[in-house]
Structure formats: C-alpha cells, structure tokens
Structure 1
Amino acid sequence: MKTEDSEVAVGREATGGETSRRVHRAWFVAVVTFVTIVGAAAFRSLPGLLIDPLHQEFGWSRGTIGAAVSLNLALYGLTAPFAAALMDRFGIRRVVAVALTVIAVGAGATVWMDSAWQLLLCWGLLVGLGSGSMALAFAATVTDRWFTARRGLVTGILTAASASGQLIFLPVLSWIVETHDWRPAAVTVALAALAVVPFVWLLLRDHPADVGLKPYGATEFVPKPPPAKGAARRAVTVLATASRTGTFWLLAGTFAICGASTNGLIQTHFVPAAHDHGMPITAAASLLAVIGVFDVVGTIASGWFTDRFEPRRLLAVYYALRGISLLFLPMLLAPSVHPPMLFFIVFYGLDWVATVPPTVALCREQFGDDSAIVFGWVLASHQLGAAVVAFLGGLARDVFGSYDLVWYASGALCAAAALMALVIRRRPVASGAGAAVA
C-alpha cells in the first residue's frame, strides 16, 4: 500500500503538477543547467576582446589570432556529438564537471604564454575541447531526458543562458582588459568556470529515474537506460546514418551559416571592426552585451513559437532578416553609438540564436532517440562555419584594411540559408518511444 501511494505521488508530480502543487524537479534541473551555462559563458565573451591587445603586445597578425579562435570554435563544434554520447555513457554531471575544469586550465594557462603556438594550445585546443562538452548538445540532452512537454520553450531558455553569460561577463571583461590588461581577464574566465563545478556536482542529476520521477509532461515512467558503451563509435555511427538523408545536410548547412554570421563574425570581429571606426572598446563590448540582452528575449520567444508554428518557416524568416541586417552594418559603424546602430543591435540580438529551438525540433522530429547526437553534429557544422569566418574575417582585415567585404558576403550566405530551410521536407522518422514531433 505504501508503495502504491508513493507511485501515485510520483505520478502526480511527474505529469507537470496538474494534480500536485509541487514544482516538478525537471524545472530545478533546468535552472541548474541554465546557471551552469551562464557560468561557463565567460570564455565565449573574451576572444573578440583579445585581438587588439594581443596584436599590440606580441605583434601577432589578426589572421594568426583568428586562427586560434578558429581552432577553438572548430573544436567546440566537433567535440559536441562525442560529448553527447559521453553523457549517455558516463552521465551528464561527470562530463560537465570535467569540461569546466579543462576550460579553467586552458584559460588560466594563457597568462604565461609568449608564443603564438601557446595561444593555439591553450585557447584553441584546451578551451575548445572543454567548451565543446558544454555546447548546446548539453542543453538538448537535458531537455530530451527531463521534458516531454514544453521542449521548445525549455530549449529556448537554455540556449538563452549563453547570452545571459555574455551579458554578465562582457562589460566586466572589457573593462578589465582596457583598465588593467588582458591577463586578469583570462584569470577571471578561469575562476568563473571553476566556481560552477561544485554547483554542477552537488545539484545536477542525470535522469528523472535517478529521483524516481517521470519526465515533465510524460504519462508513463521512463526507466533510466543502461550506460551506452562505445560512445565514440555511437557518435560516428549516428553520423553515418544521418548523413544519408538530405535533411541532415540542409540542417548542417543552414546551421553552418548561422555560426558564420554570429560566433565567427559578430562575436569575434565586431569589437575590432567598431574600433577601426573610432569606437572605444568598452562601448563596442557594451553593444555586444546588449545583443545578449535581446538574445535572451528572442531565443525564449523562438522556443515558444517553435511549440506552435512550423519550424522550417521560422528558420527561413530568421535567416532572411539576419542577412538583410548585415547588408546595412557597414553604413552604421561610427565613432559613437547612434540610434540606427542601436536598432541593428536590438534586431540582431533578437535573431542571434533564435535558430536553435526550431533546429533542435527538426532534429528531434527526424531522428528521434538519436536527436541529441545528431544535433551535436549539426552544431559541429555551426562551429566549423564560425571557425572559417573567424579566420577569414581576420585575414580579410589584414589584406583589405576593412571588414566590409565580410559583412556583405555573410549577408548573402544568410539569404541562401533561408532558401535551404524552406526545402527541408516534413518527414518524421519513427524511432521508438523517443521519437517526438515538435
């Protein structure tokens, strides 16, 4: 009788609170994940602030510095699908704790570097590997395990966490770089990553079954699956299967352009480009922070839209509007901040990673139980696109003396991404209980 009462209580709580006033544990896990991503986001704020200081101190070209950022972004993406598989094997908590520690070591070690290869090793390799394990595949894995209902909304909230971290750290790090030096800023990043480790270890849980609950919104209890052995083999096998579909390549192509026009372009090169036009570094960094503010709004709203509207059409609208805005940017850069520039920043912020919830929804619709790993590979394309533009943007600045060509080319790519999104066919693939239509 006691067991039955316990099961009834668990069932009530797991349905999302319809028969119980208690808040489902899934929401607490989402909060822990959000705070973890915020704490780890400091490393995402720093690369664009380092280009001019490193160029001035060591004489390294912007192309060389961009190569380190490019390696970081590439590894960020390529690590993601393997990290998703490792989370299935060893658990979310262990993988995330190790990743944060690697980020701290890589960021902290940069204070002693005096050669370009050391920048590639510390910021490119170590921080890239650590951040890849903290990529959006982490958010997708948590969402898939803990939520059946409200997945689009939760995906939007967790995606917005990175922007919230940028909002918190970017103005502080830019002030540290300009007032003290770039080294204290790197130490701040390392300490921020380390500070989150105990929080993750004590509060994050791998699966609802660990605490005797159903996923939020589920009607049946979902037992915790056994550890998946051969994480690397599974990641590669899933890629081999997914790559046989045209949908995968369309999603990967659009997301590569997404990364090229955000992390690779604006996040890496906006501050030095604005500085080229006489804008102070702190002012330019503050504009990026404003992007972070509106990114939170736009991404959460996109998650809400994804639960209600066709994700393919949402993607097409997002990419088309982003491309149009980039075509106007060269005319807006000036020594001071003026209303048209503020309008661009607000607009770009709303669209920054609004693409993530519909992309995750399409992965879930098409690839079912393997959707988190598939999204990891799609995210890899996002970061490869970002890596290419991070390098080519710096190279173009060295060769042509301005970033204008980069802005125009990225706008054209976004137009192509809008067309690609529209031709993705609606073709759900059954994959057991885990397949879900967004």
Structure 2
Amino acid sequence: MTSQPLTNDPSPSELPVTGRSIPEAAGPRLHYAWVVAAVCLLVLVGAAGFRSTPSLLMDPLNMQFGWSYGIISLAVSINMVLNGLTAPFAAALMDRFGIRPVVAAALTVMACGSGLTVFMTQAWELLLCWGVLVGIGSGAMALAFSATVTNRWFFARRGLVTGVLTAASAAGNLVFLPVLAWLINSYGWRSASLLVGGAALAVVPIVLLLLRERPADLGLLPYGATSREQVEQDEQNARKAVRTVERSAGPRALRVLRQAAGTRPFWLLAGSFAICGATTNGLVGTHFIPAAEDHGMVETTAAGLLALVGVFDVVGTVFSGWLTDRLDCRRLLGTYYLLRGVSLLFLPVLFARTVHFSMLIFIIFYGLDWVATVPPTVALCRQWFGADAPIVFGWVLCGHQVGAAVVAFLAGVVRDQLGSYNLAWYGAGGLCVVAATCALMLRARPGDLPGDGPGAAPGSAPLAVTG
C-alpha cells in the first residue's frame, strides 16, 4: 500500500497518513506510544547493569590479578569511548534498518562481552570483552536511542518522556548495584558478570514482541499530534529524512557531523556534555566505590550510597524534563553544572569509615543533578538541528563518553600515583564551572519557546546554522 498525500478535503473523522486511516482525535484508549516508552525504559534498566559493574570490579580484579587501577580504568575508558562513537551510527542504523533489530543485536553483543569475562586471565582480555564488546553494544543503548524513540512517538511531553527514559539508567542502578555488590562479596566477581549478561538477554524477546518502529505502522499519530497541520508537517519531515538518508548509515552520520561541526552551538553542547560525562560516569560512577573503600567503608555500603544517588537521580531527571518543557534550557544547564561543581568540591572531606549525615546530604544533592542535564541538552539539539537532532545528539553524546573515558583513566592513574582521589574531585569541580559557562554562552534561536514546547514542529529548525 503506498503513501497518500494529505488533501484539503479529508473526511471529518479521518486523515490519510502513509496509506493508513488515522483518527484525528484520540479516543480514551492508552496511546501505544506509552507502551513503546515502557519497553524502552525496561531495555535501559536492563542495560544499566553494565554501567553499575565497573566500579564494583576495581578491587576484586586488583586483588586477584594484580592489575593496577590504571589498567582496569583503561578498560572502562575504552568502553566509554566506543559507547560514544557507536551512538551516532546506531541512531542512523535505527533510521535505516529499524529500532528493533539494532537494539536486539546490541543487547546480545553486550551479553556476550560480559559473559566471556568469566574466562579471562590476562589484562588484554578485559580490554577486549569489557572494553570493546560491551562498549560497542552499549553504544546503541545510549541516550541517542531514547532521543530516537521520543522524536518518533511523541509530539507533546517530549521533555518529560526524555527525563523518564534518562532516569531509567538510574533506576537500573537501584536494581543492580546492591545485588551485584552482595553477589561479589558472596560468590565472587564472575557471578556479577553472568547476572548482567543474563539480564540483557532476557530483555531481547520483549523488544522483538512489543517494540514498534513508528506510530504510522499502527495507524496512529504521534502522541499529542491531533491537528491536520501537525500531520502535514510530520509528513514533510519524513519525506525530507528519506531524501537525506544515504545508502548506508555511516555516511549519513558523518555528513551530519560535518555540517553540525561547522556551528558554534554544536561545540558548546558537545564541550559541556563532555564535562557532564567526566563528572558523572567517568569519575563518580567508576571511582566512588573504590574511593570510599580507601577510607575504610565496606563495598556493600558504598554501593548502597551510589544506588541512593540513583533514587534521587530519578526524581531530579524527571523534574528536569518537566522544567525543560517550560524554562530556558540554557539557564537550566548552567545552574545544573554549577551546583554539581559545588557538591564535588566538598566530597573529599565527606568520606569516612561510616556514613555520616553530611555524606547523605551530598548524595541527595548530587543525585538530583546526576543526569538532569540530559533533557535540556536533547531539547537544545532539537531546537538547533531539527530533523537530524537524534544523530547530532549521538555525536554530542560521543563527547560525553570521551570526557568520561579520559577522566575515568586519569582518575585511576591519580589513585595509583598519589594514593588518593582528592586531586580528581577538585579538578572535576573546576570543570563544572567551565561547563556552566559553555551552556550560558549558547544564544537563543529567534522565536524559540522555552524547552522544545509541544507546539514546536519537530524538525522545524535547520541544521546549517551560524553563531
């Protein structure tokens, strides 16, 4: 059945889109966009185990194999770099081949990488399994996946949905961190690798059964799109996307990078997001637990604190998504980075053998800010880069992962050389000031609403911009 263009005289109850009859107004039934969002949330929760594991493996691998913190951190760094480099290509692959096959393949690769670590005896095997295989697989599970789903299925509530999906990673930490810490203490580190690999494989059938590519596949409009003009704009954006997709995903991702890299907003977003990665996944996510153990805290207690960061991260990220739909995203980002920097400057004096009230205050404060930066960053990519925003965000996310990788490795070297992480915490606090400056240097596009706004047509902003 071929696509039919919209005409000026549709029947009162239907509009033809991509050859299907679509109700102009949604009935009382739950929109399938929410089912897709729920599946994506489950996928991201299942994949979160891979992000929870590295910090727990530092001491066990150091004790069993004698590998330095720097070597183990190098595996984490390779993982993060490949995660970032894969993200934009994964977004383009999803455009060309579909979300379901890309996500199912990525989960399988991650499970294989984690499972094979139980047989390793040499450091290069850690670099290959946890660094290369898990890094490539997790790249497709990165935030570009959330951005692609949100752009396709939601016209309204995009900021809120982005916040919820982003918070799924934190929710995964809540599930996995305490369990993995208990498993490692009780049965050894190999049990943790097997658990996260099995969790990834368990999600694959759900993806294949329930995930759908686009609303039009089910004869639906995106959630929140009810007017004829909105459908026409979506049709125009879809035709534009078809014309710009090359025969393979790689050239498209590189073309989008080449165009975006000629703009000032891209580098400000990528630079600030690199610091975001450096001060979250790279430093705290990787080194908080071994740093706490340096001060005599037991691993399960430190893992519980990091999981508690995830509790408040869920609240902070969802609330950030709500704010993104209503406030100036540039000011939101600047505020988030400044608050994060202040909290990191205080952290070195808060570590102790037991958990004090001051550490709980840090966990709450820092947790609310952990990935609150994601919804406004996604919204700014959408404002500036329109229909190519998911791929642009994939490249911005690449910067996030490169920043995380560099700091994850350098913090391990600092610990090896100085016997303490203090210099890393202070340096991260200073970097947050730089990130806040980058966010505030972004100028507003003429006519932009706060955040993205449900009334802004997706893909309406051109890619080739100056400033």
If the length of structure 1 is used for normalisation, what is the TM-score?
0.95
Q: Deviations over 1:17-53 (max 9, x none)?
A: 4xx2112111111111111111111111100000100
1:383 is matched by which residue type in structure 2?
Q
Matched, 1:342 2:360: yes
Q: In structure 2, what is the equivalent of residue 306 of structure 1?
A: 324
Structure 1 runs of 4+ with >3 Å offset: 3-10, 220-228, 428-433
Q: In structure 2, what is the equivalent of residue 21 of structure 1?
A: 28
Aligned partner (choices 144, 147, 152) of residue 137 of structure 1: 144
Report how far residue 11 of structure 1 moved: 2.5
Written as runs of structure 1 = structure 2, the 5 A alignment for 1:12-161 is 12-13=24-25, 17=26, 20-161=27-168
Q: In structure 1, what is the equivalent of residue 180 of structure 2?
A: 173
1:81 is matched by which residue type in structure 2?
P
Aligned partner (choices 325, 337, 342) of residue 324 of structure 1: 342
CA contact (8 A) 1:365 1:428 kept: no
Matched, 1:434 2:434: no
Matched, 1:268 2:306: no
Distance in 2 (alpha carbons) for counterparts of 1:202 and 1:347? 39
Distance in 1 (alpha carbons) for counterparts of 2:457 and 2:354? 56
Aligned partner (choices 334, 344, 354) of residue 372 of structure 2: 354
SS in 1 for 2:353: coil
SS in 1 for 2:22: helix
SS in 1 for 2:155: coil
SS in 2 for 1:10: strand
Report how far residue 428 of structure 1 moved: 6.1
Report how far residue 143 of structure 1 moved: 0.3
SS in 1 for 2:275: helix
Aligned partner (choices 380, 389, 414) of residue 396 of structure 1: 414
Aligned partner (choices 437, 449, 457) of residue 419 of structure 1: 437
1:67 is matched by which residue type in structure 2?
L
Distance in 1 (alpha carbons) for counterparts of 2:39 and 2:351? 38
Aligned partner (choices 423, 426, 430) of residue 405 of structure 1: 423
Aligned partner (choices 248, 252, 257) of residue 275 of structure 2: 257
Distance in 2 (alpha carbons) for counterparts of 1:62 and 1:123? 15
Q: In structure 2, what is the equivalent of residue 11 of structure 1?
A: 23
Identity of paired residues, percent? 63
**Structure 2: stretches of 5+ with no match in the other structure:** 1-10, 449-455, 463-467
**Structure 1: stretches of 5+ with no match in the other structure:** none
Q: How many residues align?
A: 431
Report how far residue 172 of structure 1 moved: 0.2
CA contact (8 A) 2:385 2:459 kept: no
SS in 2 for 1:82: helix
Q: In structure 1, what is the equivalent of residue 4 of structure 2?
A: none
Report how far residue 435 of structure 1 moved: 2.2
Matched, 1:368 2:380: no
Report how far residue 342 of structure 1 moved: 0.4
Distance in 1 (alpha carbons) for counterparts of 2:44 and 2:165? 8
Q: Deviations over 1:283-335 (max 9, x none)?
A: 00000100011100000000000000000000000000000000000010000
Distance in 2 (alpha carbons) for counterparts of 1:433 and 1:334? 49
Distance in 1 (alpha carbons) for counterparts of 2:435 and 2:164? 24
Report how far residue 436 of structure 1 moved: 6.0
2:147 is matched by which residue type in structure 1?
A
Q: Deviations over 1:204-228 (max 9, x none)?
A: 0011111111111123444566594
- The root-mean-square deviation of aligned C-alpha atoms, in Å, is 2.0
Report how far residue 357 of structure 1 moved: 0.3
SS in 2 for 1:46: helix
SS in 2 for 1:262: helix
Distance in 2 (alpha carbons) for counterparts of 1:433 and 1:68? 38
Distance in 2 (alpha carbons) for counterparts of 1:230 and 1:183? 38
Q: Deviations over 1:164-189 (max 9, x none)?
A: 01110110001001111000100001
Q: In structure 1, what is the equivalent of residue 308 of structure 2?
A: 290
Change in CA separation of 1:428 and 1:359 when aligned onto 2, cut-off 3 Å: farther
Report how far residue 427 of structure 1 moved: 2.4
Matched, 1:243 2:268: no
